[in-house]
Amino acid sequence: MKVVAVATAAAALVGGASAHRNHRAAHNALFEKRGYPAGETCIPGCTTIWKTITGEPTLHTPPPPPKPTATAWPTGPAIVPTPVPQVCPTPGTYTFPATTLVVTETTTVCAASTTELPKGTHTLGGVTTVVETETTVVCPYATQKTENGVVTNVIETTTYICPSAGTYTIAPITTTVDVPVTTVVVPVVTTYCPGTYTAPAVVTVVETSTVVFCPFESATPTFAPEAPKYTAPATPPKAPSGGLGGHGGKWAMTYTPYRPDGQCKEASEVMADCAAIAKAGFTTLRVYSTDCNTLPNVGAAAKELGLKLIIGVFVGKPGCDNGSPDVAEQISAIKAWAQWDLVTLVVVGNEALFNGFCTVGQLTDLIHKCKSEFGSAGYTGPYTTTDVVSSWLTQDVSSICSAIDVIACNAHAYFNAGTHPSEAGPFVKGQLDLVVNKCGGGKPGYIMETGWPTAGNCNGVACAGVAEQAEAIKSIKETIGDSVVFFSATDDPWKAPGSCNCEQHWGCGQLFN
């Protein structure tokens, strides 16, 4: 998992032509427990790590912030792999050659994302933060400036005083649309880490004058071995019965079958890991995708140990539909495996909205597609998607709320600078309550990821450490443990440490033995 913020609707930073390879390579980038977040920087004085979000305003908007201070960010051109615009002035067939770009140091720029808006006045972008007390927030944000008729995207910093507990959107942009539907550009703070990026050759056919954006992809990912093909049983097993959740503060644990060096584990290693999780008292494992022979190996272990599975369709780059080879291959692998008696929940997408890989409409369509595909193969259990809380609260997600059977979100108290480890449980429960209330309809809610690191930097009063993790996990377990998936069973040495130096240290399985 790369420790970077992901540009919304911009460069696809991980490569690969299959779900197996892409998920393995994207694991560095997408399974990190970042703080949802300022280019994943732990900023002293911030109450939470933030992210730029687009969509109609749905939260309380505080009074206008004070005038921004002059930016202290570096000036001058930045050579980074933002999408390359290619102009197609007339109808015809166009071929754009491949382009390679090398980034030698971590670079933060003011990039641009696009979103489609209906007629009316809309509030876009900004920084969303949740505070529990009066707090002063200092953070960078992306905005637009107009000088002599030229609109420029810039990064500025601002100081904002949150007067009381609540959710605040800082420095949003307001725009008015006079036509029925239009596409607008929204500036976003985007960080690129060192590496080699390639925009592949593109051949496209256009019928009208248009501009084609060719995104860059990482040129040097490490791929997992190809999974073997599986034959579906003649009669799929009966879908599981009973509800979700656990007892005694234990329900589920996340599991990814990777060795310390990032390579795929053998079936015997997977069996040993799963046996330890079962011995600790958990009844369910959450897996993210189908790479590394996850379904056959983890499925076999689960069956022998009496465990259930939460399985997933992983969206690791823009391409949020069954037409994407990554998504299509995962759907096919799950249908071929078809051990529905082990499955208690299907999760379609993990933070796909937050990472800009899906729009609300695209994710809704993908959920319905999975329901149709898996339903035709014999699965009759519940479906959901999971995302960070801000992605649920700051967009119109009503179509997703209608499509899913249970509500789910990822919530990590460590990334809220005002949350002490002893208060992790109430914080996580409060985050889930916000999302459940947003969707309404009386559907039950569950946390798909939560935990606390044993090592890393202090983020306000949220400090990483062995004792701190024990205190936080105890609080979560006692407050809402029956409804959460703990992250994760063991540490992940193969991950990059991240700017908060915590990414490798989320293993908490030892606390339950």
> CATH code at 286?
3.20.20.80
Query: Residues 220, 226, 229, CA angle at the centre, nearest 5°?
Result: 155
Q: Which stretches of the chain drop beneath a pLDDT of 70?
A: 1-88, 91, 93-96, 98-117, 124-125, 128, 131-132, 147-155, 180-181, 186, 188-242
Where do the H-state alpha helices sit in 280-410?
Answer: 294-305, 325-337, 360-376, 389-393, 398-403
Same domain, 376 and 460: yes
Axis-axis angle for helices 19-30, 325-337 (nearest 10) = 110
Q: Are 60 and 168 in contact (CB under 8 A)?
A: yes
If one counts the domains in the chain, the total is 2
Catalytic residue among 32, 217, 329, 351: 351
C-beta neighbour count of 80 within 10 angstroms: 18
Which of residues 199, 218, 237 is at a domain's end?
218
pLDDT value for 105: 61
Do 428 and 496 share a domain, yes or no?
yes
Are residues 201 and 132 part of one domain?
A: yes
**How far is the C-alpha of 279 from the C-alpha of 305, rounded, in Å?**
9
In a domain, residue 228? The reply is no
Specify the pLDDT at position 120: 73
Q: Are residues 210 and 260 in the same domain?
A: no
Render pLDDT for 152-177 as a digit per residue (tens, 0 to 9).
Answer: 666 677 777 878 777 777 777 777 87
Report pLDDT for 18: 33
Q: Are residues 260 and 209 in the same domain?
A: no
307-353 pLDDT, tens per residue? 999 999 999 988 888 778 889 999 999 999 999 999 999 999 999 99
Q: Give the list of residues 6+ apart from residue 250 with CB closer than 8 angstroms, or none.
A: 280, 281, 282, 283, 477, 481, 482, 512
Q: Are residues 148 and 82 in the same domain?
A: yes
Q: Taking the complete model, does pTM exceed 0.75, yes or no?
A: no
- Residue 212 forms beta bridges with which residues? 86
Both 145 and 276 in one domain: the answer is no
297, 432: one domain: yes
Burial class (CB in 10 A: 0-12, 13-18, 19+), 395: buried
CB atoms within 10 A of CB 128: 23
In a domain, residue 226? The reply is no
Domain that holds residue 120: 19-218
| Predicted local distance difference test score (pLDDT) of residue 114 | 64
89 and 190 both lie in a single domain: yes
**Residue 309 pLDDT:** 98
Q: Indicate whether 25 and 170 sit together in one domain.
A: yes
Q: Are residues 304 and 164 in the same domain?
A: no
496 closest CA partner among 4, 102, 50, 49: 4
* Cα-to-chain-centroid distance, residue 253: 18
Given the residues 32, 40, 329, 449, select the one marked as catalytic.
Answer: 449
End-to-end CA separation in angstroms for the chain: 28
Backbone angles phi, psi at 397, to 5 degrees: -105, 20
Judge if 156 and 100 occupy the same domain.
yes
Task: Give catalytic status of residue 351 as yes or no.
Answer: yes
In a domain, 23, yes or no: yes
- 449 labelled catalytic: yes
